[in-house]
Amino acid sequence: MIDFENAEFLKLRPVKDDAFESLIRPMFVAGEEIVQCFQTVRDGVVFTNKRIFAINIQGLTGKKKDFTILPYGKIQAFSVETSGVLDLDSELDLWFSGLGCIKFEFVSNADVAMIAKTISEQLL
């Protein structure tokens, strides 16, 4: 499991929905679809209409992978910070029951509003 105690996913950039699809599709439940995919250098975060997949690519070859699944139903609160004039990055803070706060930092062209909408649809 990813160490969320000290985890920050920095500089997530949008990638095509199929970037991690072959890795996580076998874990999907009925009706689950990808909303948005993001990637750092190797790791990734995939937002589906049901949950969040945090993918940690490990080792020199990248064959070993750690998948941490964060269900929207465990989110107690969340905060969205959009990009500005000088600060071009967006941020999403999620407070999970039992885990605490997890922070995702996105590059400027990420559609953080779509993520917030997806989370809201699942929580409200």
Domains in the chain: boundaries: 8-123
**pTM, full prediction:** 0.87
For the structural domain made of 8-123, what CATH number should be given? 2.30.29.50
pLDDT score recorded for residue 84: 67
**Given the DSSP bridges, would you call strands 51-58 and 64-71 parallel, antiparallel or unpaired?**
antiparallel
pLDDT score recorded for residue 45: 94
Banded pLDDT at 1 (limits 50, 70, 90): low
- CA 93/CA 30 separation, integer angstroms: 28
pLDDT in tens, 55-101: 988 877 778 899 999 999 999 999 998 876 666 688 999 999 888 88
